Amino acid sequence: MPDGDCVATWNVPLHAKVHRIEFEHGTTTGKRVIRVDGKEILRRDWMFKLVGKEPFKLGDMKCNINVEALGTFAYEYSLDVNGKTFNKFKEEQNKKLHSWETTIAGNDWRVVLDKETMEIWANGCNINTAGEFVDNGTVTHFELGKTPCRIEARSSGNKKTGVIHTLFINGTQIPSTAELAAVASS
């Protein structure tokens, strides 16, 4: 259970889910604890060196939490994922992945479209799809459980915006996690 030494958290978007990484740093004891999705994956107590890197893995991704001194008793914490800063990694993931979260018959689903491979993932599993070409785009059909779903990919007509991907479940449009985040922050 996290205690009062939690100094940084990051939400890392991947195919399966958005992983929450928490970092504890005891600045008097040197203690370091890393939790991924609430599960402790690393603990070091009584470290004499208060700064440095703390490597760990998130699935097949190599990560580092960097601890740097900002002064006598102030520290800065940053996360690198696969050799990239967290912000750069997140920016690339947001360009590469399009995601939606929904509930069907009491079951929570995270649907992710990998725009580079056009694969669809549901709760971390690559799922079977059937695609068809339609006027001005494509439609990819799949099922969540036994519920029919489709992702429509259509040109926005704007080169900068590019292709717009829309998820429909039982014919109802589902807002993407990016759309929900934009509404929440406004």
The Cα–Cα gap between 41 and 63 comes to: 12
Which value, in Å, is the radius of gyration of the alpha carbons in the chain?
Answer: 20
Cα 91–chain centre separation? 11
Q: How many CB atoms lie within 10 A of CB 57?
A: 10
Two tokens, residue 85:
């800063």
Mean pLDDT of the chain: 88
Confidence of residue 1 (pLDDT cuts 50, 70, 90): very low
Percent of the chain with pLDDT over 70: 94
Angle at the Cα of 166 from the Cα atoms of 163 and 167, rounded to 5 degrees: 150
Report the predicted TM-score, pTM, of the whole model to 2 decimal places. 0.72
Structural domains for the chain: 6-82 (2.40.128.180), 94-185 (2.40.128.180)
Residue 155: HSE in the Cβ half-sphere, 13 Å Cα cutoff: 8
The reported pLDDT for the residue numbered 38 is 94
Least confident of 66-75, 102-111, 147-156: 66-75
Confidence of residue 2 (pLDDT cuts 50, 70, 90): very low
The Cα–Cα gap between 154 and 168 comes to: 14
DSSP letter at 51 equals: S
Cα 33–chain centre separation? 21
Nearest CA to 133 out of 112, 146, 120, 118 is that of 118
Q: In what order do the strands lie in the sheet with 75-81?
A: 52-58, 61-69, 75-81, 84-85
Confidence of residue 126 (pLDDT cuts 50, 70, 90): very high
The Cα–Cα gap between 117 and 151 comes to: 14
Q: Which residues pair with 34 in a beta bridge?
A: 23, 42
Q: Do residues 153 and 165 touch, judged by C-beta distance below 8 A? A: yes
